[in-house]
Structure 1
Amino acid sequence: MADKEKRSGKFGSILLFIMIPLIFLIIVASIILWAAGVDVMKPIQETAAKTPVLKELVPETKEMKSAAEKQKEDRTASLEKTIKEQKSEINILNKDLDTSKSEIDNLNQKIRSLKQEAEQQQKTKTDETKKDAADSAGKDKMINIYKSMDSGKAASIIVKLKEKEALDILNGLSKKQLAEILTKMTPEQAAKYTEKLSADGNKE
């Protein structure tokens, strides 16, 4: 027990012997530096501010506040810049979308126009087919009338018709009926129709 007390007394004496001069030196050095215009507290405060436990104990300096505010301002400026860039991108995308919509509308309009044109052509074709069928039926009816008619009477009527109508009727007759009608015409008329019928290649 006495040994322990001796050791602890020696240790206390050594510690006191070392600590007091060390503290004295630190105080003297701080005073000299302060007198020379060096801010001794600043590095101590900065170091303490970075240490988690001491951070709460050390008051913030103006420089630290200023640095923190600058950091906040820089972050705010960076966020505002990012927001501005994103808004710009959104505007560009919206413009592209509007352009795409306009192009789609134009294409749909063209499709509708082409569809209407195709329907109109189909209708015209159908109407022409019906007209051709009606013309053909009317032509057949006329030919049948001339087939049952007296050859002399048929000849006198045919020479008064338009050339195309006359040729259509003559083409529809049998060779015998055609020959009988041609004999009832004047030689000039018969020659004219015979030449036309031969040119058409519809009768031998």
Structure 2
Amino acid sequence: MEKTLKNQKTEKEPGIFHRFIFWFIIPLLFALFLALLIASVAGVNVFQKAKEFSDNVPILSNMFDEKEKANVLEYEEKIVNLDAEIQNKNAQIDQLKSQLEKNENEKERFLLEKQRLEQTIDELMQMRDENKRAFKEIVTTYEAMAPKNAAPIILEMNDEEAVKILSNIGTESLAKILEKMPPEKAAKYLEKLAAKTE
């Protein structure tokens, strides 16, 4: 029983460490808190004052100056690298924009060229149709003419044009026109007509 009382007594009595915390650390923290609260209400920047104080202490100021210089140099190097990267990206963007504009201009030029070519094709097709119509009218005219009148006219044409007209005239009209030609000319035209049909 005596031992349990001693154990209870020893457990109840705080140690030196506990006393130090209770009597020194907690009041010190409370006082610091109150000082910071009063300084902030008074409008004093405590951290600025601490920096000024550390600048006045030679060992601390040298230590902080070196760290700040190292940090400043590191940040300046990063800024230079980022500026260079931004300039590279801007140059790439400008290059891509100019290439895009060039492609747009080329596209417009090709579209205009395509429209021009389509228009030319339409005009040529109209001319071809008109030429076909005119040629059919010429052939119809020769078929309608009397063979004795048509034969001398055809003889005056060059051979290519004459064969072209004779190849499009109906066989009955062709036979009558060839009858009215000299035999050697009629033979020559028949030979060319036969070669053309092969």
Q: Name the TM-score, length of structure 1 as normaliser.
A: 0.66
Uncovered stretches (5+) of structure 1, i.e. residues with no partner:
1-51
Q: Does 1:162 align with 2:158?
A: yes
CA RMSD across the alignment: 2.2
User: In the alignment, what sits opposite 1:82?
Assistant: 78
Report 1:1-204 matches (<5 A). Answer: 60=54, 61-201=57-197
Higher helix residue share: 2
- The range that moved more, 80-89 or 67-76, is 67-76
Secondary structure of 2:194 counterpart: helix
Q: Percent identity?
A: 24
Q: When the two structures are aligned, how many residues end up with a matched partner?
A: 148
2:74 counterpart letter in structure 1: S
Deviation at 1:127, TM superposition (A): 1.5
Secondary structure of residue in 2 paired with 1:159:
helix
Tell me how far 1:109 sits from its aligned partner.
Answer: 2.6
Partner AA of 1:65 in structure 2: S
**Aligned residue number for residue 18 of structure 2:** none
State how far apart, in whole Å, the 2-side matches of 1:115 and 1:187 are: 59
CA distance in structure 1 between the aligned counterparts of 2:122 and 2:159, rounded to whole angstroms: 28
- Which residues of structure 2 form unaligned runs of 5+? 1-31, 34-49
Give the secondary-structure state (helix, strand or coil) at the position aligned to 2:156: coil
The alpha carbon displacement at 1:168 in A equals 2.5
Structure 2 distance, partners of 1:195, 1:120, is 44
Residue by residue over 1:86-137, the C-alpha shift from the partner in whole angstroms, topping out at 9 and shown as x without a partner, is 1001000011111111221222232223222322221222122111101000
Q: For 1:126 and 1:137, locate their aligned partners in 2 and report how far apart those are by CA, in whole Å.
A: 16
Amino acid corresponding to residue 174 of structure 1 in structure 2: G
Aligned equivalents of 2:75 and 2:111: distance in 1?
Answer: 53
| TM-score scaled by length of structure 2 | 0.68
Q: Measure the CA separation in 1 of the matches of 2:190 and 2:197.
A: 11
Please say which structure displays the higher CA radius of gyration.
1
| Whole-angstrom CA distance in 1 between matches of 2:173 and 2:58 | 128
